[in-house]
Amino acid sequence: MSALPRVAVGKLLDDEVLLAVQDGNHGEIHPTVADYVDSGIPFVMASDLNDNQLDLKRCKFITEGTASGLRKGFARTGDVLLTHKGSLGLTDVVGPIEAPFLMLTPQVTYYRPDPSRLDSHFLRYVFRSPEFQGQMVSLSREGTRPYIGITAQRDLQILMPELDLQRRIASVLKSYDDLIATNQQRINLLEEASSRLYREWFVHLRFPGHEVVHVVDGVPQGWERKQLSSVAKVNERSIGSKESPDELFYIDISSVSPGVIQEVTRYDFADAPGRARRRVAHGDVIWSCVRPNRRSYALVWEPAEKLVASTGFAVLSAKAVPFSYLYFATTTDTFVGYLEANATGVAYPAVTAKTFEDAELLVPDDDTLDAFSQVVLPQLEQMETLKRQNKVLAKARDVLLPKLMSGQLDVSGIALAELDAA
């Protein structure tokens, strides 16, 4: 297959192949924390596009009244989102939504294609291609945070084959993403089942045998309230100054989203970041100390021998409770609220190891802890198996992506999937 044609974003706008390219509101009319509500119009930030998946469950919300006072940034189903400030190049298609529209922050641009000429899913994969990502890096203005404004985005080059070929390429890549999404739905269901059981037993105190257990001040007989430091170690193991392993595998804060380690990077020890020092082991819970509201935490599962985390993480190692209990106890809304309340700093609110050590936990008796672990441990194992499958699928997709975009692979004989129904 020959090389695919490229057209500048500005030209696509002039020709109305793209009907609009717009970001969110800047300056004084930008919504603030005081405008956030529990539900309403999703207010989408770059952090809501982690791993190129739009997360409308954990995003902030504003009222429709607040949104009506804004000038721009109204995204709708079928638009393709692209982050252009700070975290460059994260992207996803806006699927069916309950709200009449999404509201974007100034970190995110929506691209609204004419569906009769440019397929939304194809455009999303163009944005994810290494060639396009390289364009974004080249055009970004390096400062405190990389940035590509709306005007500069007009110079970005977009692959523009015929619509039929766009849809065939998107169909191949989307088949991988659909499998990943199915697995992720199963992961979410398993996590919610385990979290629900934790709440039922240890928040609402409806644990097995609760009917005959005396409760005083919210503490069942035989249970105790303890500091986390009495049941777990925080930052127990680090690479010493005299150690020099030949290589290591590194978890950076940016590679962790709620419950998931998205990426591990191999380094020769001499080239590794200075923060790559925190040793981790199976069952450890890692928690980013910076911006705890982002919930950058994960459970370490069967790690590589030389896996280390950034010193920007607090590593919680269970000692007197099962790690399954520690994981769910330290990822509740209440625990996150405790971290947020004790974070210091304005631009980068952060907590310390001592913040974790001082956290109060309700510690059940051993029999109840064991019963809980017996139920949730198999669910955690299933979740980790599905996460590994997703990493394999994502790797295969990412190998195909540049080959399809460069025209190296011929997709003319591939039947089209019903993308519109996805």
Q: What percent of the chain has pLDDT over 90?
A: 80
pLDDT of residue 422: 41
The last residue of one of the domains, among 142, 160, 178, is 160
Judgement on whether residues 143 and 236 belong to the same structural domain of the protein: no
Judgement on whether residues 257 and 146 belong to the same structural domain of the protein: no
Q: Length of the chain in residues, anyone?
A: 422
Positions of E strands within 55-119? 60-62, 74-75, 80-83, 91-93, 102-104, 108-113
The last residue of one of the domains, among 109, 130, 160, is 160
Range among 13-22, 40-49, 262-271 rated most confident: 13-22
Q: What phi and psi values does residue 296 have, to the nearest 5 degrees?
A: -85, 80
pLDDT at 179 over 80: yes
Please report, in angstroms and rounded to a whole number, the separation of the first and last CA atoms in the chain: 28
The last residue of one of the domains, among 309, 331, 363, is 363
In a domain, 199, yes or no: no
The strand pair at 260-261 and 307-310 is best described as unpaired
At 325-353, the pLDDT tens digits run 999 999 999 999 999 999 999 888 999 99
Judgement on whether residues 11 and 151 belong to the same structural domain of the protein: yes
Q: How far apart are CA 265 and CA 44, in angstroms?
A: 28
At 86-113, the pLDDT tens digits run 889 999 999 999 999 999 999 999 999 9
pLDDT of residue 415: 67
Please name the residue that has the structure tokens 């680090």: 238
Q: How far apart are CA 228 and CA 363, in angstroms?
A: 9
Judgement on whether residues 16 and 101 belong to the same structural domain of the protein: yes
Q: How far apart are CA 123 and CA 21, in angstroms?
A: 13
Segment 355-380 mean pLDDT: 98
How many structural domains is the chain composed of?
2
Judgement on whether residues 147 and 17 belong to the same structural domain of the protein: yes
CATH of the domain at 102: 3.90.220.20
pLDDT at 315 over 50: yes
Q: Which two tokens stand for residue 255?
A: 């590679």
What range does the domain containing 267 cover?
Answer: 224-363
Judgement on whether residues 105 and 241 belong to the same structural domain of the protein: no
Stretch (H or E) spanning 23 = strand 18-23
- Tell me the residue type at 422: A
Judgement on whether residues 155 and 229 belong to the same structural domain of the protein: no
- Report in angstroms the alpha-carbon separations of 238 from 93, 108, 129, 333, 371: 41, 38, 37, 29, 33
Question: pTM to 2 decimals?
Answer: 0.84
In a domain, 140, yes or no: yes
Q: How far apart are CA 113 and CA 89, in angstroms?
A: 18
Segment 283-309 mean pLDDT: 95
